[in-house]
Structure 1
């Protein structure tokens, strides 16, 4: 193919675009929407699937996790017992690297005689206790210090260079060595190493690495850290291992569980209860929905990513369908051009190249528009698109490759069939005005109908899915969860202040604030992502019932603040301590213990690892987490021994008058007291109902995405419908004029022109309904408590699509129906 020939192809294509402006615009817009969606979704999917790929031999790296089952209640924990790591060294083969670490709560860091502002950095996350093995499975570049000795001794800390510059902004790395860094005013460390931060995509976001031996030698830490007992599991205690090249993950996992049974053997009365370790591949952590990802890191959902790919494919298909439909529909208008070119000697291959070049130009224009629109789309979806994602072509050579592949694929999908149809016309038939034979014309019509039905199947599927997701979100946010959630504020005492009397001073002062109705002090609110559980035994006289029991720590005002119903017995009292006295249980736990009535549980004794607790009351069930999870057996206790379980203020505010500012004034008064008592700590609070809404952030993001996908799919489908309506009315111009002369009304002509296309939409509704129902049913299985898939979801979706189609068709059909018949009869 010569250069002049290619140049000629593009000249003809541009001339055709100018002649058929409307159809060209419809094709460009349809393809632009599909390609924009594909480009943005590609960036998101590529971003998430490239996490932690930079490690050496990543397929040999695993996280050890804990699974358990008690009385039919299954649980999963990303952490392990602290006793596991040292035991692996001596009892398990096939492991090259054992890298335990313990995550530390956000804390205040003090730099004595430092150059940071006020010598203090507040609320620092990303702090862990670990040893030199951590730097063996994650290969950091060392800028100062020795990786073999930097975490060998107590009170040592290694910093990333970025964090070190925050603490010591004016010092060189060598000068930072030996400088003091103090955590929580009690953990004094010296800098023993500086490493370059990880520049690759990773979930390991830590930047302060304190030697793990510090946790066992520092008196402040020993009082708060878990002791290495085989029965204790904490998600803060993480363990990574790297297997030997010839080792099998299944065999190592089996060794771990044999070792667990050796050190923590099951008792005969524990029949049916299990506990074990699982090796989780490194590549699975970023997508984990069972154990949870790394602390502070974003977790992606593979199902959502695959759903995004499906949406991108659907929108691309819709744009391609529009192109095929409109191009084949215009075939008769280009018949003479094709006939003359064939008569002049053009071969079929040359005509196919001509039509594919036209498709290529339209696709290329659509890609350019898509690239320009992508930053705007990323901004629109900024709430759930990772902020690191941006359309920077220079830094994303893979994006250029993706766009080139997209241009080729879309050009082929959209242009190949129309090119075959158009290039197949016979010159003799064309010049006789016999463009298509009966069979070929019938095939073209049926193809257009099939593609139109496919378009509306996709569009109606999106509508139905959007309505159902919105219905489930509304159900979750408005369901009675078993507690009050409005007008409640949660405030937590600074961790380092738990062993002081400031908490009681703060409580006494805020009690007098007039906007506050009631205050409770305890642990987590009724529904929270923070879970605390323990194994509890109950002896019913015949057999022992062992159960994993969720725990909430509270005082006597807790039930009143949250309006939790008491079914039997009495409320908590100050004397009901964890070392003795009473506990509340929920109705689910009462049933598991075998009590038919809540009153039957009152007075029975529970064994908390050797400590006896009497059941003093039974509360109505309430959801401890989102509706995704079922209600678990639960106990509500008075906290005493661990002050960490007594650090949250649950404040019930008095009702606010319409348009009033009482709550604002009340929070301002609380903040004033806070700054007086805790001047070094930032004041922060959460409204409880906002925290409940955050449980469904993923669903709300899905709903937002579906709203856009639905709107775009309906828009593209209606664009195609409008194009077909324009083509149909143009082809039937003379027929319309004759019918009007013979007395047909506007309504009759509109009905005539619309009926066939409306029936295609009805057929699409019939086809999509069972498909949508199945997909909805599978999605709803993610919720332990869910709304119903009502019939009106389908009826509303079908009616909405039909209304949109009629509205679109009316622009052209009414225009054709009211046209002057004299002009119609002169049109030929």
Structure 2
């Protein structure tokens, strides 16, 4: 019986080759998208699912509020772990670790040619509790002893082989590893790296106690400090089986108030700890994920699932439309089979088997396309996402479910409808041919409208996202961003005179117009702020004030407009010195005019600073964030905020290579001053563009989704046009004989389908406007949702539909009517 079903199915495929091809192409596009999106979503949703009792593991984070400004930090004060171990109840494991950051690793070989590895990340300071929380397999050493003493280090086997490629693991124990030419450690243990997907991507584990004993590290390890919070200081805890997160969180906040009681002058400011579940860290957009590991966005993942569902639905709609449109052509076959004794159930199985085969063919095509699609979108697909059918058995389960769902979704209604024909009516030619009065025709119209609602929604969304990206990249941000190069000098060289020597060499390069040395550029991902008070004798204004550290050339390099007062001078560091503020801060202080702020004094970290200038507002971050109150100042003592060179290049002639020569000159100067450090530079406008990487990736994805949805919809439209013209062949011939023109025939054949597209436009416009408005709320400064977005989408879809229809309608309209009238 089953063999017979498939034999009849293949016979039908050969008879209707074009319709079969349209169905396979439409479904394969949807299934390919679903397969790739499944790989992405499954990849992100399986992070850190392997830990024992993972539902009891939490990260402790910090929330604070200063003068109405709310902030979040993934770290904690370094005094908290020790206090939590002795004063808190309901906690089984307290596992602190401190993230070292990028470092240089030196492996002494006893010769001048020591092995030096630069830019190493994944190095942390921790203790045995970390290995009780995260279950590693030990190759050598143990969690109980390997991190007990100062200056011990445990390595993963992968990292150990990088440091000691010629030694076996036993011989690595006792070998020396030096970090930043200062922290000398001895290998005390080797563990296997975690094989599962995890955000704990660390491979060098230095004993936590080293931070309080090593002279180089003591300044960073403030183990008794409750007042400072650093994102590098991480704390994970594992609750007791019967403990609740709310109770433990309350205990930690009571401890904070006990050890660091609120001060009267900080009334209204708050600080507290929050317990974040382990499972949410990979998706966290508030505190940030683990250091150096990308975070996923659940909204984006759900959006991908919606796109996959839409593309699948479009393919299924094509199948339903074309199958029901051909119903009359199979009516006689159904009538004869019923007369010969076929039951309705057998007919339903016949039609479902045909759907299953088409879906199976589409899946085979999709399986072949998936690696190609992953490579095509590799720029914004997570690095670990790959397709390996032999090593990913879950893919077969997913594909099996997908085949079953799509087969039922596409084939059930057509099978139910076709199998319901009554033999007597069929054999008397009393079955309607899918005309406008039949239920199947109304279903086809509804599904066609749904197709074009989805396609036009994608078009409108793509246009708006592109418009917002263009707006963000071309908006006047309040400063110059073109032809500026940023270079940061090494931390360890900051207190030497090498910066001045480097500056002198750069000044001699003819292609460089001006140089400024300071902190972060005007708009950056870094934030530095402090509480500042202004008192005019009548009222006191306390504000969380953002800071930019700069020299006298900073405003000139970035062409930041000065509204009042003067620029910074090198003497402004004396006795607190002067400070330049932005216009937003001047307004917050209550000044009607920028000139009114000049000469006023700020209580700036217990020092008095005079306002010497007011600049026009400029964006300190991307357009996602509003402009904050800001001060620009020369640092008094802290030279760590004075290590970035801001280099303005002279204008480049058309087709010239002046900038290339300038970069070559800067690199030559760098290698002469900092020979041990790699030369790295960034064009500032490229850094600004990186603020919108997520939006640019979304735009690319929407562009592809839009193209595919239009393609699938037009395929279905072409199939319906072919069917319509075939059904009306004799009518077209009669009309031509009676004098109808080609234009009139084309209009007749296209009008109904065109009206369906117009109806889809009317329905989708309010829905798209609402969705766009919600997405635009992510931007503090945004473009307008212009009327032409909708007009362009509607007209573009209409044009695509007319072009698609014209392939068949024009062909039918110009056909010889003699042949048409002979068709029967």
TM-score, normalised with respect to structure 1: 0.97
Superposition pairs of residues 492-511 of structure 1, within 5 angstroms: 492-511=488-507
> 2:460 aligned with 1:460, yes or no?
no
Aligned mate of 2:311, from 309, 312, 315: 315
> 2:624 aligned with 1:628, yes or no?
yes
Contact 1:115 1:169 (8 Å CA) reproduced: no
Cα deviation, residue 579, structure 1: 6.5
Q: Bigger shift: 144-153 or 601-610?
A: 601-610
Aligned mate of 1:358, from 349, 354, 359: 354
Q: Tell me, in whole angstroms, the C-alpha distance in 2 between the residues paired with 1:344 and 1:508.
A: 99
Q: Tell me, in whole angstroms, the C-alpha distance in 2 between the residues paired with 1:228 and 1:603.
A: 40
> 2:548 aligned with 1:575, yes or no?
no
> 2:207 aligned with 1:207, yes or no?
no
Cα deviation, residue 78, structure 1: 1.4
Q: Bigger shift: 602-611 or 131-140?
A: 602-611
Q: Tell me, in whole angstroms, the C-alpha distance in 1 between the residues paired with 2:90 and 2:112.
A: 46
Aligned mate of 2:798, from 796, 802, 807: 802
- Partner residue, 1:677: 673
Contact 2:95 2:127 (8 Å CA) reproduced: yes
Aligned mate of 1:108, from 97, 100, 104: 104
> 2:96 aligned with 1:80, yes or no?
no
Contact 2:156 2:203 (8 Å CA) reproduced: yes
Contact 2:434 2:441 (8 Å CA) reproduced: no
- Partner residue, 1:618: 614
- Matched position secondary structure for 2:136: coil
Q: Tell me, in whole angstroms, the C-alpha distance in 1 between the residues paired with 2:432 and 2:617.
A: 72
Q: Tell me, in whole angstroms, the C-alpha distance in 2 between the residues paired with 1:115 and 1:701.
A: 49
Superposition pairs of residues 270-349 of structure 1, within 5 angstroms: 270-349=266-345
Cα deviation, residue 364, structure 1: 0.2
Aligned mate of 2:774, from 770, 773, 778: 778
Aligned mate of 1:397, from 389, 393, 401: 393
- Matched position secondary structure for 1:335: helix
Q: Bigger shift: 223-232 or 370-379?
A: 223-232
- Partner residue, 1:175: 171
Cα deviation, residue 321, structure 1: 0.3
Q: Check 1:84–1:604 CA distance in 2 against 1; reply closer, same or farther (3 A cut).
A: farther
Aligned mate of 1:607, from 600, 603, 606: 603
Cα deviation, residue 166, structure 1: 0.7
- Matched position secondary structure for 1:80: coil
- Partner residue, 2:425: 429
- Partner residue, 2:402: 406
Aligned mate of 2:701, from 700, 705, 722: 705
Superposition pairs of residues 228-307 of structure 1, within 5 angstroms: 228-307=224-303
- Partner residue, 2:726: 730
- Partner residue, 1:651: 647
Cα deviation, residue 116, structure 1: 12
Q: Tell me, in whole angstroms, the C-alpha distance in 2 between the residues paired with 1:578 and 1:703.
A: 50
Contact 1:161 1:197 (8 Å CA) reproduced: yes
**Structure 2: 5+ residue runs without aligned partners?**
none
- Partner residue, 1:30: 26
Cα deviation, residue 543, structure 1: 4.6
- Matched position secondary structure for 2:438: helix
Q: Tell me, in whole angstroms, the C-alpha distance in 2 between the residues paired with 1:85 and 1:598.
A: 48
Contact 1:269 1:544 (8 Å CA) reproduced: no
- Partner residue, 1:561: 557
Q: Tell me, in whole angstroms, the C-alpha distance in 1 between the residues paired with 2:354 and 2:574.
A: 78
Cα deviation, residue 801, structure 1: 0.3
Q: Bigger shift: 746-755 or 50-59?
A: 50-59
TM-score, normalised with respect to structure 2: 0.97
Contact 2:75 2:232 (8 Å CA) reproduced: yes
- Partner residue, 1:445: 441
Q: Tell me, in whole angstroms, the C-alpha distance in 2 between the residues paired with 1:230 and 1:787.
A: 44
- Matched position secondary structure for 2:508: coil
- Matched position secondary structure for 1:67: strand
Cα deviation, residue 202, structure 1: 0.7
Cα deviation, residue 657, structure 1: 0.6
- Matched position secondary structure for 1:221: coil
Cα deviation, residue 578, structure 1: 8.5
Q: Deviations over 1:331-352 (max 9, x none)?
A: 1111111111111111111111
Contact 1:182 1:189 (8 Å CA) reproduced: yes
- Partner residue, 1:416: 412
Q: How many residues align?
A: 824
Q: Deviations over 1:672-693 (max 9, x none)?
A: 1111221111111111111110
Cα deviation, residue 549, structure 1: 2.1
Aligned mate of 2:687, from 685, 691, 707: 691
- Matched position secondary structure for 1:26: helix
- Matched position secondary structure for 2:316: helix
Q: Bigger shift: 514-523 or 436-445?
A: 436-445
Cα deviation, residue 542, structure 1: 4.2
- Matched position secondary structure for 1:563: coil
- Partner residue, 2:54: 58
Q: Tell me, in whole angstroms, the C-alpha distance in 1 between the residues paired with 2:322 and 2:111.
A: 69
Contact 2:317 2:447 (8 Å CA) reproduced: yes
Contact 2:572 2:578 (8 Å CA) reproduced: yes
- Partner residue, 2:189: 193
> 2:376 aligned with 1:388, yes or no?
no
